Amino acid sequence: MANDQITQNTVLIFDTTLRDGEQSPGATLNVDEKIEIARQLSRLGVDICEAGFPIASPGDFEAVRRIAEEVGPLTEGRKNGQPMIICGLARANKEDIRRAYDAVKAAPRHRIHTFLATSDIHLKHKLRIDREECIEQVITAVSYARSLCDDVEFSPEDAGRSDPEFLVQVLGEAIKAGATTLNIPDTVGYTTPDEFGWLIRYLIENTPGADTVTWSVHCHNDLGLATANTLAGVQAGARQVEVTINGIGERAGNTALEEVVMAIHTRPNFFHLTTNIDTTQITRTSRMVSAYTGMVVQPNKAIVGANAFAHEAGIHQDGMLKHHQTYEIMRPETVGLHASKLVLGKHSGRHAFRVRLQELGYDNLSKEELDVAFQRFKRLADKKKVVTDADLEAIIADEIYQPPEIWKLNHIQVSCGDHSIPTATVSLTGPDGQVYQDAALGTGPVDAVYQAINRIVGVPNTLLEFTINAVTEGLDAVAETTIRIQPHEEGGYKLNPQTNQPSARTFSGHGASTDIVVASARAYMSALNKLLAARSEEVAVSELAVAHTEG
């Protein structure tokens, strides 16, 4: 294998949360959120971070460039002491490849990932080229990428439905042109584990020069088989897996990082493999990605779902009390999950609060962030006798994983009931520092609050999704609300590399409170602030692009 850090027993983790994951409908992230997630991926021990698709928009370019510059050099907490490789995606043409290179080149270790479809259905209907032209384009693209950078990955898109013999030809040419990693995507999630494992073994055995490159797999979850297919690929010889946190991604999503990593970790005698991942960072990374993208994790999701380590049936609880291995194949602590317990009360001080947050993995909060979170904790402890770890995590997500407050929520007041028209009064502080107040009627208390906020902020939008969850049991539980909105007039756009079409942008927001109307109002302000920040980010990035061109 080409890369000297690879030993045959190590499966490299290529995380594409910030590229394929961000293509999930609605998972728009701003630059600062992407940088925070990239930092966390580095702490988690990801080997390669696909930071984005730089040609897609000036905002994407800027995000990849800043990740390369700011996160690219970090080595803290990483098992092998090496920084992450920062990777940018490019279609197989010079303009895309140059743009990807310019975005990643500041990282000490960087990679260009270029792709071209190889299935007859894509060649005929999407690209309108024949097989010969496809091979020519791959050779030109990979050679050009290799002239810029020593680390080049090539993916034959829709490999899962491509003719294996044609794939051998294409991949052989890609190796000759200088590719160092060959990634085999099941783009539409069509294959089954036996088929996909067979394909990987066939390609490794038949492609000339196969032993000079790293083989990689990239699966989508349309039939719920992404993890199984990925592991079948690994058993067939792949030593890089392309995955996302919580399995987010196009349609039904990509392979979930946590599932593949924990399968390899939990079954050493079956796989005889290892990864560079610090598994204790998994829960924290999952929560951060969920909070920033607004993509709620289903409760029964493997490894990171709220019920993944909960034992409900009496017979299971009895077994667990006698010996945890009766029903538990992984310890919750291994994935960084700490049993929810009474940790702090209203008399607890700042020191105890900070120590508990550090134990939960929040060891890099600034003094200001800690102050804000501590005030929130004190207010919560006044209302709620039992403050659990889950409550603390909700406070952190609500205070820290938030966009800059362009508009700030001061107060809301609602009146509602089965004999009155729901009415809300809100007070906000605007970007100019002035206080604004207004009132509105609605179909319910949350609608009334949203209408009143709309009257002040004046950004017409449609509410696409609204979810509310209690983070702990009991009537005094903290509620977490996650919402998604779509602005009516969308200026900027982002290119979807698979469809080549601009994708409509939506913005998520989340909020937490013991009062569900307050949690909903906070979530709405979070989504609106994200939308407004994205608009000013777009203006700033295009001004920067103009300045670069003129300079």
Angle at 59 between CA 57 and CA 61, to 5 degrees: 75
Does 153 contact Zn ion by CB under 5 A?
no
Does 393 contact ligand KIV by CB under 6 A?
no
Binding mask 472-501 for ligand KIV (x = CB under 6 A): -------------------------x----
Alpha helices in 255-323 (DSSP H): 257-266, 268-271, 282-293, 314-322
The item of ligand KIV, Zn ion, none sharing an interface with residue 155, based on CB under 5 to 8 Å by kind, is ligand KIV
* DSSP state for residue 10 in the 8-state scheme: B
CA distance 152 to 172: 14
CA distance 50 to 14: 7
Tell me the C-alpha to C-alpha distance, in Å, between residue 87 and each of 16, 37, 63: 9, 15, 12
Does 218 contact ligand KIV by CB under 6 A?
yes
Taking a C-beta distance cutoff of 8 angstroms, is the pair 216, 111 a contact?
A: no
Helix or strand or coil: residue 26? coil
H/E element holding 219?
Answer: strand 214-219
Q: Between residues 157 and 480, which has the closer beta carbon with respect to ligand KIV?
A: 157
Q: Between residues 15 and 391, which has the closer beta carbon with respect to ligand KIV?
A: 15
Q: Between residues 152 and 517, which has the closer beta carbon with respect to ligand KIV?
A: 152
Binding mask 65-104 for ligand KIV (x = CB under 6 A): ----------------------------------------
Does 33 contact Zn ion by CB under 5 A?
no
Q: Which two tokens stand for residue 201?
A: 């073994």
Closest separation between CB of residue 195 and ligand KIV, Å? 17
CA distance 26 to 450: 20
Closest separation between CB of residue 24 and ligand KIV, Å? 12
Q: Between residues 23 and 276, which has the closer beta carbon with respect to ligand KIV?
A: 23
Does 155 contact ligand KIV by CB under 6 A?
yes
The item of ligand KIV, Zn ion, none sharing an interface with residue 494, based on CB under 5 to 8 Å by kind, is none
- DSSP-derived secondary structure for 83-113: PPEEEEEEESSHHHHHHHHHHHTTSSSEEEE
Question: Which of the stretches 15-23, 126-134, 204-212, 509-517 binds Zn ion when contact is defined by CB under 5 A?
Answer: 15-23
The item of Zn ion, ligand KIV, none sharing an interface with residue 157, based on CB under 5 to 8 Å by kind, is ligand KIV
Q: Which two tokens stand for residue 291?
A: 């909070």
Integer Rg of the chain from CA: 24
* DSSP state for residue 202 in the 8-state scheme: H
Closest separation between CB of residue 441 and ligand KIV, Å? 47
Q: Indicate which single residue of 14, 115, 450, 507 sits in contact with ligand KIV (rule: CB under 6 A).
A: 115
Residues binding ligand KIV: number (CB under 6 A): 9
Q: Which residues of 86-104 are buried (b: 16+ CB within 10 A; e: fewer)?
A: bbbbbbbeeebbbbbbbbb
H/E element holding 548?
Answer: helix 516-550
Closest separation between CB of residue 267 and ligand KIV, Å? 26
Q: Between residues 91 and 530, which has the closer beta carbon with respect to ligand KIV?
A: 91
Question: Which of the stretches 16-24, 155-163, 170-178, 368-376 binds Zn ion when contact is defined by CB under 5 A?
Answer: 16-24
Q: Which of residues 9-28 bind ligand KIV (CB under 6 A)?
A: 20
Q: Indicate which single residue of 33, 96, 151, 157 sits in contact with ligand KIV (rule: CB under 6 A).
A: 157
Closest separation between CB of residue 368 and ligand KIV, Å? 38
Closest separation between CB of residue 122 and ligand KIV, Å? 10
Q: Which of residues 52-81 bind Zn ion (CB under 5 A)?
A: none
Q: Which residue's CB atom is positioned nearest to Zn ion?
A: 20
**Short-list 21, 48, 46, CA closest to 33:** 21
Strands 461-470 and 479-487: antiparallel
Q: Indicate which single residue of 20, 62, 96, 398 sits in contact with Zn ion (rule: CB under 5 A).
A: 20
Q: Between residues 20 and 96, which has the closer beta carbon with respect to Zn ion?
A: 20
Q: Between residues 18 and 428, which has the closer beta carbon with respect to Zn ion?
A: 18
Q: What share of the chain is helix, strand, coil (3-state, %, to 5)?
A: 45, 20, 35
Q: Which of residues 175-214 bind ligand KIV (CB under 6 A)?
A: 185, 187
Alpha helices in 117-208 (DSSP H): 120-122, 131-148, 164-177, 193-206
Binding site for ligand KIV (CB under 6 A): 20, 115, 155, 157, 185, 187, 218, 220, 497
Binding site for Zn ion (CB under 5 A): 20
